[in-house]
A and B are shown apart, each in its own frame.
Chain A
Amino acid sequence: MAFAIQFTIDVLSLGGAYALMALGLVIVYGILRLVNFAYGELIMVAGYTMFLASGSGLPWIIMALLAVVMAIVFGILTDYVAFRPVRAKSVTAVLITSFAFSNLLQNAALLFISPRPRNVPLPEIFSQTVTIGGAITPVRNLITIAASIVLLAAVAFLMRKTTLGIAMRAAATNFTMARMLGVPANLIISSAFALSGFLAGVVGILWIGRIGTVVPGVGLEPLLVAFIATVIGGMRSLPGAVVGGFLLALIDTTLNYTLSQDLLKFRDAFTFSLVILILLWRPQGLIKGPASGQRT
């Protein structure tokens, strides 16, 4: 019983983080059909903001808010620097500019801060544990689960009930038609980047909260995870990204528990083999995105 509880909490907390990461990536991809390769750096920005703010003596929650705000600012900045100038011209150009922006941010962190890990301030509660039904669980896992439930519900509400959210869904289906109804392209794209930055900021704090330190390359793994989760779930579907995130977490956690110590360092190889199998079975991903063609 204790094991079942432990396992469930592990899957849900890892899955919640994965789902939020994937959601942040797919929100931009759905509208622009472009992967934002600088997405991982938004998590890095959140981490370094925490590090830089750590000497200020501000309460932790203010530092965390500041980190999220900075991730949003850099999300919107990604749009202005890497996407907007070349968006209308060439898809390849945007691919390269988003890579370039990612590199620029990483190298700025290397140059102006340090290549070595920097400590991120964490509140006491992140290192505490509680016992639930005999299972010893870090409190930060429960915080991650709570945060992901709240954020997933908030995103679902935004996308279903608000005019902006509905306009974003419409733009993800047929951008030109949405513009012909007066939905401003730039507002929609900037909103998508801001939402993406917001999710990256929150995930950044939770993710870095596991490790306790931030390095310039910290965003690579979340980017990869988000990318794989969206590929499994269906590149253009928001529910797909969430399902993909939880499924990937289920695979990872199961392997963590079942693989022997020798094999554990090859865990990613096992994970990716399973991902390949899933994609062979459903190449379009588990959940079909919004239809983009019209019915005839």
Chain B
Amino acid sequence: MLDISDLSVSYGTIRAVRGISFTVGKGELVSLLGANGAGKSSTIKCIAGALKASGGSITLEGRDITAASPEQVVRAGLATVPETRDVFPDLTVAENLMLGAYIHRRDQAGNRENLDRLHTLFPRLAERSHQPAGTLSGGEQQMLVIARALMSRPTVLLLDEPSLGLAPAIVERIFEMIETLKKSGLTILLVEQNVNQALAVADRAYVMRLGAIVTSGTADEIRATSDLSAHYLGG
């Protein structure tokens, strides 16, 4: 479904991602793990088209999207939830969700149906529909950003650290929801620092360190690898 081959990302002379390759199969939930600065978010931004790749290729369902702009990537069926939890704070929750469906703006009936489905999944968003998104709590904002990404009806969803800075109870909710999405057949690439939570939902995982992939395998294999904490603590 999503094939990353020999991908490199550089900021000036600093190479944040050094020739990584991985794949995400249809309906699979693959997790990208690693400490701060390992290059996970740069990888996500690059796939989303927000950063230019300095080498390698990104293929989505056989289509080369390496040089695509962010707006082309979402049209190709890949939606991104960035780690910065970028709601549009001055727009209402409803307006945020409406923009999520920007590429389907002609299909209003389909959007309404999709919105109803998301409101069942996230009842809080329905309650707060007419409130500016900036007034939501952190957890609600995270749900809004995910719901907004789903409004584009993606085939692949990139989730960058959905648990960042949220209370444990909320993190639990978010991961339950990720499981629900996975069951619905959505292909997901999940970036996380919260290793245990991520491995609990993931089929497979890749571990990044200093811009390269150091370990890969099924969730169970990765969990069994004893030196995982070493990658996080910089050992």
Contacts and interface: CB of A to CB of B under 8 A. Distances in A.
Interface in A246-296: 290-291, 294-296
Contact of A177 (B73, B82, B141, B152): B82
Given A295-B138, A296-B138, A177 B102 contact: no
A167 B84 contact: no
Given A166-B91, A290-B90, A180 B102 contact: no
Contacts of B89: 173, 290-291, 294-295
A87 interface: no
A90 interface: no
Interface in B95-134: 95-96, 98-100, 102-103, 105, 134
Nearest to A175: B70
A182 B86 contact: no
A115 interface: no
B165 interface: yes
Contacts, number: 86
A181 interface: yes
B75 to A, nearest CB: 6
A178 B71 CA distance: 8
Interface size class of A (residues with CB under 8 A): 20 to 34
A65 B113 CA distance: 43
Contact of B134 (A170, A179, A181, A291): A291
Contacts of B102: 163, 167, 181-183
A184 B70 CA distance: 9
Nearest to B74: A182
Given A180-B74, A182-B103, A183-B99, A294 B85 contact: yes
Nearest to A160: B95
A73 interface: no
Please indicate which of the listed interface residues A177, A180, A291, A295 has the most CB atoms of chain B within 10 Å of its own CB: A180
B87 interface: yes
Given A173-B90, A174-B88, A185-B69, A180 B82 contact: yes
Contacts of A163: 98-99, 102, 105
B228 to A, nearest CB: 28
Given A176-B50, A184-B71, A170 B91 contact: yes
Nearest to A179: B70
Contacts of A295: 85, 89, 134, 138, 141
Contacts of A169: 88, 90-91
A181 B105 contact: no
B64 to A, nearest CB: 19
B128 to A, nearest CB: 14
Contacts of A167: 99, 102
Contacts of B50: 176, 179-180
B48 interface: yes
Interface string B41-80: 0000000111000000000000000000111011100011
Contact of B148 (A173, A181, A294): A181
Please indicate which of the listed interface residues B48, B95, B100 has the most CB atoms of chain A within 10 Å of its own CB: B95
Please indicate which of the listed interface residues A166, A181, A182 has the most CB atoms of chain B within 10 Å of its own CB: A181
Interface in B157-176: 165
A169 B102 CA distance: 14
A240 B20 CA distance: 48
A167 B96 CA distance: 9
A1 B155 CA distance: 68
B60 to A, nearest CB: 15
B70 A180 contact: yes
A169 B92 CA distance: 11
Interface string A14-51: 00000000000000000000000000000000000000
Please indicate which of the listed interface residues B74, B79, B90, B165 has the most CB atoms of chain A within 10 Å of its own CB: B90
Nearest to A293: B89
A290 B103 CA distance: 24
Interface string B6-25: 00000000000000000000
Given A170-B96, A180-B80, 16 more contacts: A166-B98, A169-B90, A177-B82, A178-B99, A179-B49, A180-B70, A181-B99, A181-B102, A181-B103, A182-B75, A182-B152, A185-B71, A291-B90, A294-B87, A294-B89, A295-B138
6 contacts: A166-B95, A179-B49, A180-B70, A182-B71, A182-B75, A291-B89
Interface of B: 48-50, 69-71, 73-75, 79-80, 82, 84-91, 95-96, 98-100, 102-103, 105, 134, 138, 141, 148-149, 152, 165
